[in-house]
Amino acid sequence: MSTNRYFNVQKINFATGELEPLQLRSIGYYRSHRTGNYTLTYTDRRFAPYTPFYRQQLVALPAFFARVVPEVKSDVIAGCVEVTPAQFAELGFIVRETKGGVSNAVTA
C-alpha cells in the first residue's frame, strides 16, 4: 500500500470570510471480483506498526462507495483516492487519539 499523503487545502468559511485548513487523507481501495464490494484501507503511520491502530480496513458496498466518493469511477477496480475529513468519517474509519494530539482528526 502507498504511504500516507497529506495535502493542505483551504476551504472558505462563508460566515466569517476566512480560509480554514482542510486536510485530505489518502486511502487505498480495491474491488473484489468475487463479491463486487470494495475493500478500503487506511494506514496511519503515526502509530507503531505492531499496534492495532496502525491500519484500518473495511468493506463498502459499491453504491455506498460511489455515493460517498463520487470521483472514483465504477469501472476502476483498484487505486488510491484522497478524501476529505467528512468523507473519511462517513466511510466508517475510526478517529483515534495519539499522545501528540488527534490522529486523522475529523472536523466537519
CA dist 80 and 72 (Å) reads: 9
Res 108 pLDDT > 60: no
Grid-cell match 472558505, residue found: 12
* Residue 38 confidence (pLDDT): 96
| In-domain check, residue 86 | yes
pLDDT (mean) for 67-96: 89
| In-domain check, residue 1 | no
| In-domain check, residue 107 | no
| In-domain check, residue 34 | yes
| In-domain check, residue 2 | no
* Residue 107 confidence (pLDDT): 40
CA dist 90 and 18 (Å) reads: 25
| In-domain check, residue 88 | yes
List CB contacts of 3: < 8 A, sequence separation 6 or more. Answer: 43, 45
| In-domain check, residue 51 | yes
Domain that holds residue 29: 7-102
Cell of 26: 489518502
| In-domain check, residue 108 | no
**CA-to-CA dists, residue 62 to 5, 45, 46, 92, angstroms:** 24, 27, 30, 14
More reliable by pLDDT, 95 or 56: 56
Please write the tens of the pLDDT for every residue from 3-53.
Answer: 555 555 556 666 776 666 667 888 999 999 999 999 999 988 777 788 777
Res 76 pLDDT > 60: yes
Number of separate domains in the chain: 1
More reliable by pLDDT, 97 or 55: 55
Percent of the chain with pLDDT over 90: 39
CA dist 6 and 82 (Å) reads: 9
